[in-house]
């Protein structure tokens, strides 16, 4: 079989920044093992596969090692493929997913995504995190997808962390989101480590901001803010809390368009 493939930089305004994602449109989903093999071959944080379903699409996401229930940046990339390549007259799309319906609208050069907010619970006893991350947290929370959300007092601490990734992969969690009040004109800064999912550090993570948006809305006293994920590639997005939903706004840049055989 042959299928089109696209590689895009999500949450980016210029190539080689943001978070790369591969997108593979299909008529019907391939076997799970085949999609996992394609994602492993791509060796990106996520590869998205989508198929037509009524007026919208069904979407699934794979890291190099596992299927995941949600991925923000690959959803953004998939929406761009649909609205800029496959159906350029469309201005919105609804993806049906394991995390429920995900709406994406095209507004000028931006895409606005509407995702479910994550529920957080503060934790008191996490003695290993300081040793694993290389700095002592100010607060630790857990979201409903089993990620730790770790608050530090300084943005520079977040930017300079060099965690023990092997130890982090052994923690009882999906991944670790680290965050602080922002610098350099941003309201918040963050990073995301998920070696247990085959992603040592994710460059820019829409899903993490579904937890960070309600987390910071209560602390900043407002529902909208500008966020920066301080990975080596780096990327920014605008976040807005809407009751139990999160609105994320970002841009995307096309990098590669071709065909795969499997």
Catalytic residues: 46
Rounded-to-integer distance, Cα 227 and Cα 212, Å = 9
CA dist., res. 92 & res. 199, Å (int): 30
User: Contact at 8 Å (CB) between 84 and 91?
Assistant: no
Question: Which residues touch 155 (CB under 8 Å, ≥6 apart)?
Answer: 180, 181, 182, 183, 189, 230
Is the Cα dihedral 88, 14, 104, 63 positive or negative? positive
C-beta neighbour count of 153 within 10 angstroms: 14
CB 236 within 8 A of CB 186: yes
User: Torsion-angle region of residue 54: left (phi > 0), alpha (psi -120 to 50) or beta?
Assistant: left
Q: How far, in Å, CA of 10 to CA of 44, rounded?
A: 12
91: three-class secondary structure by DSSP? coil
Token pair belonging to 171: 């923690």
The Cα–Cα gap between 233 and 219 comes to 27
Please check whether residue 148 is in contact with residue 176, taking contact to mean a CB–CB distance below 8 angstroms: yes
């Amino acid at each position: 079989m042959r299928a089109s493939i696209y590689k895009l930089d999500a949450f980016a305004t210029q190539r080689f920044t943001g978070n790369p994602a591969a997108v593979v449109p299909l008529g019907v989903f391939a076997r799970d093992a085949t999609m996992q093999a394609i994602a492993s071959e791509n060796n990106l944080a996520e590869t998205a596969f989508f198929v037509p379903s009524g007026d919208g699409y069904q979407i699934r996401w794979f890291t190099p090692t596992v299927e995941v229930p949600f991925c923000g940046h690959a959803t953004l990339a998939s929406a761009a493929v649909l609205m800029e390549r496959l159906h350029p007259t469309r201005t919105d799309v609804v993806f049906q997913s394991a995390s429920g319906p995900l709406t994406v609208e095209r507004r000028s050069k931006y895409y606005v995504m509407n995702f479910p907010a994550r529920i957080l619970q503060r934790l008191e006893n996490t003695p290993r995190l300081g040793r694993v991350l290389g700095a002592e947290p100010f607060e630790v929370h857990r979201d409903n997808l089993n990620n730790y959300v770790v608050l530090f007092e300084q943005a520079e601490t977040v930017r300079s962390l060099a965690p023990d990734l092997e130890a982090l992969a052994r923690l009882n969690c999906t991944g670790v989101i680290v965050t602080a009040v922002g610098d350099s004109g941003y309201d918040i800064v963050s990073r995301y480590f998920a070696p247990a999912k085959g992603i040592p550090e994710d460059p820019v993570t829409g899903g993490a901001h579904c937890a960070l948006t309600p987390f910071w809305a209560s602390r900043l006293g407002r529902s909208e803010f500008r966020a920066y994920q301080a990975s080596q590639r780096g990327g920014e997005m605008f976040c807005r809390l809407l009751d139990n939903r999160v609105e994320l706004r970002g841009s995307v840049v096309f990098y590669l368009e071709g065909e795969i055989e499997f």
